[in-house]
Amino acid sequence: MNRHTKLALMVAPFLLIGGYIASDFYIENEAGKQRIFNMVPFGHCDVINQKCILKSGDFEVNIYDEKNTTTLNATFPLDSATLFMVDKAGQATAYPLGMSDSPYYWRSETPLRSQISQKGEKYKLRMIANIKGGQYIAEFYTQTVK
């Protein structure tokens, strides 16, 4: 072997380890950047009867209301979540959801049940869920079926 081949074989492991460390820093930096994803309802959305699923790729959120407490259940752990009720004039009222048992479950008391308790009533909602710099947003209507 000539001296250039020997030198290349001695330097290669250090370059391999350095490249691995540099790629890890790059991926971590990219993960921390803020991104926005749009979520859409999966089928008909009925929050009162616990049939409202929002999707964006593999991420899903189930929103339902029990006894005037609106609950958000996500497939991945969330950092925070906020639900907005939008009235007929377009004014949004924010309801920050607090973490329940785990980062997968978030809930808050809302007047949603009193707004759409009758069959056929419809109401506009917005939702923002934050996960490590990514924001999942949705604007959708919930309509009571039963």
The model's pLDDT over 34-70, given as tens digits with 9 standing for 90+, comes to 788 999 998 889 888 888 999 998 999 999 988 889 9
Tokens of 4: 């250039």
> Is there a single domain that holds both residue 29 and residue 44?
no
> Is there a single domain that holds both residue 23 and residue 87?
no
Q: Could you tell me if 94 and 77 are in contact, meaning their C-beta atoms sit under 8 angstroms apart?
A: no
Chain center to CA of 130: 6
Of residues 69, 144, 56, the one with CA closest to residue 105: 69
> Is there a single domain that holds both residue 40 and residue 23?
no
Structurally, how many domains does the chain consist of?
2
The model's pLDDT over 7-19, given as tens digits with 9 standing for 90+, comes to 888 899 999 999 9
Q: Could you tell me if 127 and 138 are in contact, meaning their C-beta atoms sit under 8 angstroms apart?
A: yes
> Is there a single domain that holds both residue 40 and residue 86?
yes
> Is there a single domain that holds both residue 104 and residue 50?
yes
Whether this model's pTM surpasses 0.75: no
> Is there a single domain that holds both residue 96 and residue 42?
yes
Q: Which domain holds residue 103?
A: 35-143
